[in-house]
Chains A and B, each alone.
Chain A
Amino acid sequence: MSDPTTPNGDSPIMNDPAELAQTVAMCRHCFMCRHANPTFRVTRLDSHTPRGYALMLSRLQGGQTTLTVETAQRFFESTVDGLCSELCAYHWREDDVVRAGRREAWVGGLAPARVNEIAETLVNDAGVAVRQFVPQAPEANGKQVLLWNGVRTLTSRPQAGQALVDLLSAVEADFGCVQTEYDLGTTLFDLGRPSEEVRSAALSAAAVISETGAEVIVTPCSDSFRALTSLWPSWGIQLRNNPIVQHTSTFLLPHVTEGRLVPSEGRPVWNRVAIHDSCGTARAGDVVDDPRAVLAALGVEAAEWSHNGRVAECCGGGGCLNEYQPELATRMAAARCDEIPPGCDVVITTGALCASVLATADPVPLVLDFAEFVAALVGPKSSTDTVTLPMSKEDR
């Protein structure tokens, strides 16, 4: 097994002061993407927008001001989900501006305490035992397909992993899970931690994955999908066997269209679902068509949210915001759920974490990860067997 290529562990503009300065200069007086910023939409504060972040960073780096606890806090109240960059006509990387601001906060010792705790945990003890959360996961070594749950999915939405185990078993895939999963570096990256920490986390996880020899990696976790398909390649990390990385929906699609997974009789019937596209799958990974194709093949009408696909609004879980700012994340989840299309029985998400975050909205719609929904529909035994139908939007 060859060593993975040492990654840089930074976003490109963090290494290029001129590019960062240019991005800051472009964003600091521009209001054009503000309306879409998920944090701004709930707080209405200009400091929660790319303009605000760029303005502050320009003043910090120009020596016109020093960072305070309050303004450092602001930099950590973003989901760094990339929506503003996606909507920008010229795709200026405002999420990297936020990471640069966070880096300043770390350097100045002003990162919020809870963020510090999360980062320390990831650096010191990043492993999560899979079997603890997904008891029926088979071993991965020597299998063709690696089911990678994702650390945040394991701890917040393990039923997504279990549902995927059930589905992979149902189609008799040669698959397994590792014993211990590790953060892929995305959380540390999004928190603006030093590149050597990001690199170290990514390398640890890469070693574990490479050891399996898997040719295909399937994951329900949007952070993991983003890491494996977007961040790691940009960091120069290579895996043994150069495995294909697929979201749940992409893996399931041929099995559904070729009749190996069909709706079972007597299972809960959902008439209309709303799909929430996760930032990591849709925006970073361009996984938009496959979830819809799977649903269509299963006879499920999928309603489109008003900002979806590559311009989907974050659920509130981006950059692990829900872990250190749960109240703000819940407000963002509620704002997202306020716009569920009428007549939908269920919300399904293409990121497992999104399901757990959206479920904190009040009132709570029935929210399922994509794997959970398909598993409940096609009948493999799973923890979703006891799911009950939700209130309709009119009843909410």
Chain B
Amino acid sequence: MSSTTYPATLFLRQLETIVGPENVVTEEFELECAAVDVWWITRYLAEHDPSALPRADAIVFPASTQEVSEVVALCSRHGVPITARGGGANDSGGCTPVRGGILLDTKRMNRILEFNDKSFTVRVQPGILQVDLEEWLNARGATANHFPASINCSTVGGFVSTNGTGVLSSKYGKMTDMVHQLEVVLGNGTVFRGLPVNRHSSGPDLSKVFIGAEGTLGVVTEVLLKVHPVPESRIFRSYLLPELEGGLDAGRQVMIAGLNPAIMRFYDRHDTEHILHKQFGLKDSGCFLMVGFDGPKAVAQAQMNAAHEIVVAAGAKDLGDDYAQRWWSDRLKSYYPPLDYICEPWMTAVTDTVASYENIGPLYAAMKSAVEDGFAEYGAVFHAHFSHWYDWGNSFYPSFLVKDVPEDQTEAIDLYNRMIEACAQASMTHSGALNEHHGTGMRFGRMLPHAYGESSFEVLRSIKSALDPLDLMNPGKLGL
């Protein structure tokens, strides 16, 4: 146990009196399972050097805000680091317990506390898996409209902590848009509760301080989320464009025309081949674009018609609705092995970013060059699609891939870090964000001070210092 002052067995006994003995787990294999997430580094270490995997000393499963508060207070008294963990399927190492201590696993806190069918909000505990929440809402004619690829794997608390985004974010926003109120247990065990709505002029929205904080400022214990009625209609259409630039501009025009698509996705040639050809049998070459609208039937159709005109005028070949509809129905399929790279012993990472429209094209080109030219000796491959479009810019979702991973462990990890840094540098040089929706975790966290600049980043350091003076909450993350 990473406490300097308190015998480990006594500490564990104290934890057991708070949450129950069956909810404090110290079994070796369980700790190892929890140490391996989707981040390439933990997967690589699991294969090559499991003893080097950072592990917690115990996993604790509280069931309530009160239990979280008591656990955190106990850890605070004894200097034990706390890493909050929801689904644990992060691809950035966000839940990697770099200084040991406890993993505070929220999956027992999975209750739905209140559903308001007048205002369409739902209050939940943080450990509910998004798939379970969505199913519950659907049975009541509602939906969260939050459909990330990790919907099966990840929890509401995790999405809040990383400011996650789903495929319908163009219309329904990110977590920061969906969250109305948070309850958070702070580093000393006290409980913070935000204001009940997220649009107001009552000082800074303090709930937002914790959105995207990746557990470094406190443990989210309750979330009030905006939800929606299940739309009457959700329609799709897809196209093929000859080249990237035309498609990017077509998408921009759709967004700034105020057509409000629920979803728009645009794949570069390589990604079109990787996903669309393999998964859907698309034969044609080009850059695949799909748009989708939802809501009242007549409104969605009118929006689609207007978008169709814009896209076709940009030189797109109309593929009809079949591919796009199938993409929607089978969208999770590409995250299962063998289509998902994580089953292979290759080096891979997603380096999603977001930038304004005038920057996104040059950013793409810069990142592509940084990978393929900068790491040509390793045969590095880069492909991307553009998703999460806004009326000021969009994100793109690049993956880099190296199949011939260096045999030497130090060299392999160094190569990975250099590639991550090269992608991050391309983002920052072109006014992009370090990450769009996975969180920075261990992958990008160290670069956050550079992204902000030291004097600006000092704001976050000050907040951290005030809320977690002992630096026990998910230490080593966010560049803190």
Contacts and interface: CB of A to CB of B under 8 A. Distances in A.
Given A32-B153, A306-B135, A46 B30 contact: yes
Contacts of B38: 29, 31
Contacts, number: 86
Nearest to A29: B342
B152 interface: yes
Given A44-B108, A55-B46, A89-B332, A31 B152 contact: yes
Nearest to A70: B27
Interface in A9-54: 25-36, 44-47, 51-52
B152 A34 contact: yes
Given A29-B38, A31-B153, A74-B29, A46 B88 contact: yes
A76 interface: no
B132 interface: yes
B25 A45 contact: yes
B74 to A, nearest CB: 21
Contact of A30 (B25, B34, B87, B340): B340
A30 B340 CA distance: 9
Given A32-B332, A88-B336, A56 B29 contact: yes
Contacts of B336: 30, 32, 88-90
Greatest chain B CB density within 10 A among A28, A36, A44 is at A44
A65 B343 CA distance: 21
Contact of B107 (A44, A55, A59, A71): A44
Interface in B1-54: 25, 27-30, 32-34, 36, 38, 43, 46, 50
A306 B140 CA distance: 13
B337 A27 contact: yes
A51 B38 CA distance: 11
A373 B46 CA distance: 51
Nearest to B342: A29
B89 A31 contact: yes
Contacts of B108: 44
Contacts of B153: 31-32, 34-35
A148 interface: no
Contacts of A370: none
Interface string B310-338: 00000000000000000000101101111
B183 interface: no
A388 interface: no
A342 to B, nearest CB: 10
Contacts of A26: 337-338, 343
A64 interface: yes
Contacts of B340: 30
Residue among A74, A89, A92 with the highest chain B CB neighbour number at 10 A: A89
Nearest to B22: A43
A53 to B, nearest CB: 10
A45 B30 contact: yes
A45 to B, nearest CB: 6
A70 B29 contact: yes
Contact of B50 (A31, A32, A45, A59): A59
B89 A92 contact: no
Contacts of A61: none
A68 interface: yes
B352 to A, nearest CB: 19
Nearest to B61: A44
Nearest to A64: B50
B332 A44 contact: no
21 contacts: A25-B337, A26-B343, A28-B343, A29-B43, A30-B336, A30-B337, A31-B89, A31-B150, A31-B152, A32-B153, A32-B335, A34-B153, A35-B131, A35-B152, A36-B152, A44-B105, A45-B30, A55-B46, A65-B50, A68-B28, A306-B135
The 9 closest A-B pairs by CB, nearest first: A26-B337, A46-B33, A31-B153, A89-B336, A44-B107, A31-B89, A89-B333, A29-B342, A71-B29
Given A32-B152, A59-B50, A89-B336, 15 more contacts: A25-B343, A26-B338, A27-B337, A29-B38, A29-B43, A30-B342, A32-B336, A44-B108, A46-B34, A47-B27, A55-B32, A55-B33, A55-B46, A68-B28, A306-B135
